[in-house]
Structure formats: C-alpha cells, structure tokens
Amino acid sequence: MKKIFIGFFAAGCIFVQIVPLSGADVRVGLVSYWPLDSVDATTTADFGFGNHLVLNNMGSTNLVASPHGMALTFNGSSTYLGMVHTNDPATLTNNLGLPIYSAKRYTVMAWVKGAAAQNNRVVFAEGSSSSGNPFLLVGTRNGTVATPSGGVNASIRPNSTTPILPNTLSSNIAFDDNWHHIAWVDDNGVGKMYIDGLLDAAVYNYTPATFNLNTISVGALLRTTVANFFSGTIDEVALWERALTQAEIQEVVANGIVTPIPVFAPTITSFSDAKTNYPGDHARFTVTAFGPRPLTYQWKRDGIAILDATNQTYTLFHVTTSDSGATFTVDVTNAGGTTSSNSVLTVLADAPIDVRNGLLSFWPFEVATNTPPTTPDLYSQNHLTLVSTNPAVTFDSNNLTGGQFGQALAFDGIGQYAPRSTGLPIYNNTNYSVSLWVKGNGTTNGIGAQTATAARVFSEASTNGNNPLFSIATDTAGTNGVATMFVRNDANSPLVNGRKSTRIVFNDAWHHVVWVDSNGQGKLYVDGVQDETDFFYIRGILTLNTTTVGGILRGNPYAPLSFFNGRIDEPAVWSRALSISEINDIRANGVPPPIGAIAPSIVLQPVDKTNNVFAGDTVTFSVQANGTSPLSYQWNRNGSPISAGANPTATNNVLILTNVQPAASGNFSVTVTNVAGSTNSITVQLTVVPYTPSTNGEVLKLDFDDDDVPNVNPASGFSSMTLGASGTNFNGVGITFAPLGSTTLDDRDRRFNGNPNVTTNNPPLITHAEVYGDFIFSTSASTDPTGLQILIHRLAPNTQYGLTVWSWDKDNVGDRIADWVETASGVTVPIATPYTFNGSTPILHDYDATFGALLTSSPTGQLRIEGRKSGGSTLVSIFVNALRLVANPVMRITNAEHLNGNLRLTIETQYPGQVITIQEKTDLGSGTWSTPTSGGVLETHGPIVIAEFPAGASQTFYRVTSP
C-alpha cells in the first residue's frame, strides 16, 4: 500500500486559524494521490478527488518496479503526465481542489529517482494553458553550475515575469540515481523542503500572490507549450490542501498512504474573527474550509438559516446598531458530515461629527478668476487651474453654473480639466476620503453623452509615466450610469481594476459620491449610502504627483485625457476616513468653510541613505507635507540648519546633495512651517562610502541573466546581473536599465526551455557559452526608434572606455537591425549604426555577435548606451546578452605561435570593430615600420583579431596601430 499527500489552508488578513490538525489522520486534506501503479489507455488514476492525469507519449511500457510497488519512467524529452482544468482558482469550492497553489497552505510529495546532471527539469508543476508566465514548480537545479548538483529546486512566478519565489535550491541531495522522497510544504509564503523526511536548510520564504493557474503536470512544465522534461522515475505523487508537519511527512515516508481514502468531514481552517463595524457599513463574513468535495455552505443568524446565504462569503449590508450582538454561524457540509463556526457582530455608534477634522482641500466652485483661470481651495490654498486643451475654447468663470450648493463647474468632455496647482495627491495618505457632487450622463449615447468611456471626475496620476493611477470615473463601457474605481500601481499592476458601483451615479441628476479608503478597505458611498460592491484591495506603491478634476493629467507623451462631460460641485479631500454620519452631514449641509489655517503635517517622511552611496554620488532626501500653503522647509544636518546660500535646495521639500564625500555623512531632518505652526520630520542617516573610480583596466564585465534563472557562477569572470537588479552597483560602478519610447523591458533564458542549448563551451574557441543563452531585451522595440538605454555611472570623468556589447538570440531569426549610440554628454556619439544580427547564424567563437566603441565618459562620470530599432521589418531588435567596459584600454598582442610555417598573432583591440593596421620591421633600433607584403588578418571576433604572416629566416618585429 502507498500513502502520500499534499495540503494547505488559506487565510486572509481578517481571518484567524481556529482548527488545530495535530493528531489528525494524515489523509485529512488530501486532494490527489497518484500511486502510479497502473495506467489505462490514456490516464493514470487519482485516488483522491478523481483528478486523473493524462498520459503523454507514455503507456504501460513506462511502468517499472519500485520500492513502493510500480512507478513511471520519464525520458527527459517528450513524456509527461498532465491535465488542464477549468475550475475557478480563486476558490476552494471547486470539485477538483485545483490549482493546489490557490489553497495558499498546501503540500506536494513524490518519490523520485533521477540523475544529478539535469538542469531545470520538472517533477511537479502547475501552470497556465494561456500564458507562459505563471507557474509553481518543483524539480532539479536551475543553472548549469548550481550546487549541490542533485538538489531540489522550487520556484513560483505570478502573471508577471518576475518570480515571487526565485529559483531556490535545497542544500541536500535528492537526485543521485537513487530513490529519495521530496515534500514541498508552503504555509502561505513560508516554504519548506523536506528530503527523505528531513527539513532542508534552504530558505524558501516569499510574499504570496494571487494569479491564474489551470494546468497540473508531473515530469514536465505544462503551459502554452510543454518543456523542462524530467529524465528518471517518479512514484507516489500526492497533494494536500494543508501544510503537513514533519511528523506527518515522516509517517508518509515510512508507511505510504493507506487506501481507500475516507470521506472526512470538512475542516474549517479560517473564519472571520468577531467583527466591529459602524452604522452603514457592510459586515462581511468569510470561511475557508477543505475536505472531500463538494462542500456546501449555510449561514445562520442567531441560529436561524439565512435565505440564499450559501456561499463562502456572507455580507450583511448597511448594518445598524440594532444588529449589534448578533451571532453569525456557518455550517460547512460534505458527504462526511458538517463542521460549524461562528462570529459575533458589534456595531458601534459613530463618533461625534467633526467634518473639519483632517479636511485638507475644499474647492467649492463658487468663483473662478480668468487671468489666470483658477478656482480657490479654501483650506490649504492648493488652487485648481482651469485648463482647456483647445485654444479656441475658454475654461473660466463662464463655466460656472448652477450646482448642488450654489455654483458648480461645467466641463465640456472635450478638453477641459482642472489640475491642482500645489500640494500633494490625497492617495499618499494611508487613510483618506474624497467627496464631490456630480451630474452627468454615464453613457456615450444621448444628450450630454460622454466622448470617452471611463471619463474621470476625480483622478491622481504622474507626469513621469503612464502607470500609477487613482480615479473615480464613469462606466468603462459607456453603456450605463454606474461609477467605476481604478487603483493601479507603479508596476502597472491593477489593484482595483475598474470595479463598478452597484448604484447609479451618472444619470443626468445630481448625486453625492464619497470614496473612503482605510489602508485598502475601500468604500464607495452614493447619496449617503455605502455601495454594495466590495472595493477591498491591497495597497501598493503609487508614485503620484498630480490631482485633477474632470480628467487625467499625465506627463508627455501622455497628454491630458478621459475628459468628463457634465457638472461637478464641492470636491474636497480629507487625510482620514469619514464616517457615514459625517458623509450624510456633508450631503445635507455642504462642506463647512475653514475656521483657520491648517498646521503642517508630514505625509511621507524622508528615508535613510545608508546603502550603496559612494563618494561623488548625488543624493536626495525628500519630504511630503500637508497644510495651508505656502509651506516652507528647512533641512538640518546634525541638528543645525543647512545654509540656503551654500545649498539652495535646503529650503525645498527635496534636498539635493551633489558630489557627496565621506565627510558629508551624518543625520538629516527637515522642519516644515506655515502660518499655523511647524512640525519636524524624523531624523534619517546618510552614510557615504569612500570611492575612487578606476582609470585603468576592466571596470565592468556583466552577464545579463533571466530573473528566474540567474547564473550562480557566471562564465569567464562575468558578474551576473538581472533586470530586477537594475539600479544597483558592481564594485562601485552603477548600472541602470530603462526603456526608450513606448516599450517595456523583459528578459529570457533560452538555455533550458526544452530545446537544445544555444551553444556549448568548446575550449579554446568558446569558453563563455552561457552569455549567449540569456538576455535583456526591449519587448516592443518593433517601431523606429524605440528600444532601451543603459546608464553606466560612477565612472572616472572625461576618461576613455573601451565598450563591448554582446547582442544575439538564437530564437530571433531574420535581420535584427538597431542603431547603438552614446548620449551622456548631450551629444549623440555613434557606436554601431547599424548593428545587425540574425539568430540563425551560429556562435562559433567567444566575442561573436558583439559591437563596441571607444567612448569618453561625461564630466560627471557617465556613459548612456542607447539601442534604437532602425529600419527593417517590424521584428523586435534590441537585445543585450552581456557588457564589458575597460578604462583606458590598450591594444596588445596577447599570443604568438608558430603554426605550419607561419607566425600566428592573436590581437586584442580596444573594442569590437576597431580599424587596425599591423606593421613589421626587422630591427627595432633602426628602420621604419611598414605594412607586411604577405599574410594578414584571418579572422575577427569582436575585439579579437587573428592574423598570420610567413615566418622567415630573419627575425621580424610586429606592432599594431589604429588611426
């Protein structure tokens, strides 16, 4: 008999684990158990939830004897087990229990027997049939020189290409052509690897994420294509939707999994804690449970079943104080029985109304000036500028019209918007509120229709990019009158992706809209009632610097857009969450005028600068503060004010320190003052490391690797750099990647994708083949002149550097044409215009597929290397495998040998493609250098030149020069 299982239990931020599992039957939580003892014509059986795996290029001939009965062998090139499923990965109510990662707390087990030499081969994986990005995998080492060579690797990647758990290798061995038991246990981001029942020393901790997986596979990674085939034997694969203990794992190692598997009653792993709410809130109760499917749910209030409350989540809308003290119970039932848990609801009365508390800006839209067109902020003097993108159409006091309270502003939906002139985005506050009245048509049809879908009535964005955004908008489809919320972070990941209100907001009538955000607990109030849509999200980093009413304001090339057609009245923002009592007070009475000026308060504190700050760097400290404008700033060092005469930025919100030296290290703070008072920031530290840039020899030699599979020991002295490490330094030299134009950057690894390696080392011709297997590239550099730029800084100023860049990819055939230039000094210096490669041309020597130049660093010690697509078809053209930089390079003859009656010279030039002249003479003391009459250059590979000359009877001297 055999026994193995994998398990997890999920928990959210408001959940508490309430059911201990110590002493339970080890099969509790078992989702799938594949003994691999037998196969039928197409599948091998799952003894758990019936997730039978499909045989691919396999059959009964792959069955072999094992210590646990029978097992399946895999050939390393085409055989695997897999299935594609369609269940919702966001829930555990599906009958499959898959994907197992969605449980968050889970276990994966298997017996394995395979060779240590395998690179990036998969034992177990979950992936996506529609994308190559997301996966969970457990398998062999990832990297040709990863140690130990027989260790177990685990990696997890979400929908983006950046892994949340990069490839992590165990310390102990599981692949040495002997049978070993492996168990991967993930306790909601606390990962553990057990080998033969013993906990491995490797650390697998990571920050969990939610993403889409719908494939499961054994012996390969099943995504849009199948790859990473395992060579060896696999047995006794099992999955649990809970994290097993070491004792349970050892029990499975010793005894296997006993069948048949009982139908256990559900186990509740998490349940909403006792809840405290305020009048008008929505009280949401959520349960997470596991057990044999199907699971059913029934919610009860004070013991009485609630009609239609049969999901994992139950919401009581618009609670009142009369709901306080009610007990809410959930019964989770399957064929094995019922398990219950309960929570008590408390509803507290709102605090006394104090609308002025935390009110930062209020634009009543009662008046507007025409020169320049503005409308005032009564609280902080952060006035709104009235802007029209059409010079023939004004946006000024003529746009004042009847509002909900006095006057309002009418926006034409074509090009009128009102950006904040000074101050800070309200989203920068962890807790905040936005209130305004709106009247408009939410559709793109009829009278007063919107010219844009998702027209923005209030938004915050950045003049430095297109990604970060917070906004309140009309319907994204332009078909009805709902409101739509957006929150998107700097990485372009949606946090609130166009969630729509349940209630109507835009139907050509006045409606009061309030957005309240308490650290991600988003609530939308329409006409004083909380909307039924759930707007909860996990806050992310949004680097915002604009606030706009009536549209979105972004920087070039992102022109103002999403203009609103309609009326807006009384927008206001608070640095705290308003209560429903306060919201209804504002709705009934309007926003009150200020009593006095608002004293300064700091929103974003300065941060320490203690890592990787080198002598000669420029350092900035910044602070963001609220309060009535104008705000004044005074930066201090070691408790004393910094003179504005010595540093004019000492009285700005951003302090800039140029050419810092070790003596500049110390403590820094800032005092913020206005007419109502002053406040001090926290004290932060600056630590400057002594640094003198090298002026001779090699200063950089970087192999650009895939974030997922970075080289552990890169070849031939290369350091490894990934896109995720952009902005870091190497021995003091800083290097930063950035896109050029409307493109993004990504990385790839071609070495272990199921195809033959791009090339292999073949000394002495090829000694760093790994360089050609992975690269960083500009994903959409298919339009001239988009591409990427590489800023190299912290170099010696005004110094010559020999640059070598490797640029090649075996999978990109056809001519890839690019112009490469250097621009740090403000003048464009050609490097290779054009440079062309074709992936069908094999790499036969080190330094093949390279280009370079002799460049002079800027007075500030920088080089900016830019690759721009240049002509040809629409093929992506900008790729970088590696980079080498040599300060004040010299040409030299590195080797001389007699070969078949000839003298063979190996010459290293200052950079690839350098024009050289080889000269000879017979006497160093006299005579002139001349061009040889016979012989010459045989081969050129980047900066390496091979030349041969007849070896005569008399001595001959050779030298190399360059124009």
- pLDDT digit string, tens, across residues 659-683: 999 999 999 999 999 999 999 999 9
Helix (H) / strand (E) element for 249: namely: helix 246-255
Q: Which residue has the higher pLDDT, 747 or 28?
A: 28
Q: How far, in Å, CA of 905 to CA of 894, rounded?
A: 8
Closest CA to 698 of 737, 733, 734, 726: 733
419's tokens:
């950006």
Helix (H) / strand (E) element for 433: namely: strand 431-440
Neighbours of 639 (CB within 10 A): 10
947's tokens:
């030349």
Q: Is 301 exposed, middle or buried (0-12, 13-18, 19+ CB in 10 A)?
A: middle
Give the count of alpha carbons within 13 A of 527, CB side only: 10
Q: How far, in Å, CA of 366 to CA of 765, rounded?
A: 78
Confidence of residue 653 (pLDDT cuts 50, 70, 90): very high
pTM for this prediction: 0.78
Q: How far, in Å, CA of 726 to CA of 790, rounded?
A: 9
Q: Is 325 exposed, middle or buried (0-12, 13-18, 19+ CB in 10 A)?
A: exposed
Cα distances (Å, whole numbers) of residue 825 to 348, 380, 530, 820: 64, 42, 56, 15
pLDDT over threshold 90, residue 767? no
- Indicate the residue type of 625: A
Q: Which residues have CB under 8 Å from 855's CB, separation 6+?
A: 800, 801, 803, 822, 829, 831, 863
Bridge partners (DSSP) of residue 518 are: 431, 521
Q: Is 697 exposed, middle or buried (0-12, 13-18, 19+ CB in 10 A)?
A: exposed
Query: Which residue's entry shows tokens 């992975």?
Result: 774
Position 12 scores a pLDDT of: 29
pLDDT over threshold 50, residue 578? yes
Q: Which residues have CB under 8 Å from 963's CB, separation 6+?
A: 915, 917
Q: What do you get for the CA distance between the two ends of the chain, in Å?
A: 80
| Contact between 271 and 16 (Cβ < 8 Å) | yes
Sheet holding 936-941, edge to edge: 892-899, 902-908, 944-950, 936-941
pLDDT over threshold 70, residue 8? no
| Contact between 324 and 346 (Cβ < 8 Å) | yes
Confidence of residue 754 (pLDDT cuts 50, 70, 90): very low
- Average pLDDT value for residue range 927-956: 91
Closest CA to 474 of 565, 393, 354: 565
Determine which of 88-92, 270-274, 530-534, 587-591 has the lowest per-residue pLDDT on average: 88-92
Summarised one tens digit per residue, pLDDT across range 145-158 is: 667 889 999 999 99
**Mean pLDDT score of the chain, rounded to an integer?**
91
Summarised one tens digit per residue, pLDDT across range 386-421 is: 999 999 999 999 999 999 999 999 999 999 999 999
Bridge partners (DSSP) of residue 879 are: 777
Q: How far, in Å, CA of 832 to CA of 166, rounded?
A: 35
Q: Which residues have CB under 8 Å from 646's CB, separation 6+?
A: none
SS3 breakdown of the chain: % helix, strand, coil, rounded to 5?
5, 45, 50
Buried b (16+ CB within 10 A) or exposed e, 75-91: ebeebbbbbebebebee
Summarised one tens digit per residue, pLDDT across range 234-262 is: 999 999 999 999 999 999 999 999 999 99
Q: What are phi and psi of 26, to 5 degrees?
A: -60, -20
- Average pLDDT value for residue range 347-354: 95
Q: Is 120 exposed, middle or buried (0-12, 13-18, 19+ CB in 10 A)?
A: buried
| Contact between 884 and 700 (Cβ < 8 Å) | yes
Q: How far, in Å, CA of 302 to CA of 310, rounded?
A: 16
Q: How far, in Å, CA of 280 to CA of 951, rounded?
A: 97
Q: Is 175 exposed, middle or buried (0-12, 13-18, 19+ CB in 10 A)?
A: buried
pLDDT over threshold 80, residue 756? no
| Contact between 747 and 776 (Cβ < 8 Å) | yes
Q: Which residues have CB under 8 Å from 952's CB, separation 6+?
A: none
Helices (H) and strands (E) in the chain, counts: 2, 75
Q: What are phi and psi of 282, to 5 degrees?
A: -105, 120
Closest CA to 471 of 549, 526, 365: 549
702's tokens:
């970087």
- Indicate the residue type of 899: L
Q: How far, in Å, CA of 54 to CA of 64, rounded?
A: 18
| Contact between 531 and 583 (Cβ < 8 Å) | no
Cα distances (Å, whole numbers) of residue 739 to 237, 780, 786, 790: 44, 10, 8, 9
Confidence of residue 781 (pLDDT cuts 50, 70, 90): low
- Average pLDDT value for residue range 427-451: 95
Cα distances (Å, whole numbers) of residue 735 to 42, 363, 705, 722, 791: 53, 45, 14, 11, 6
Q: Any idea what DSSP says for residue 588?
A: H
Position 760 scores a pLDDT of: 77
Helix (H) / strand (E) element for 708: namely: none
pLDDT over threshold 80, residue 143? no
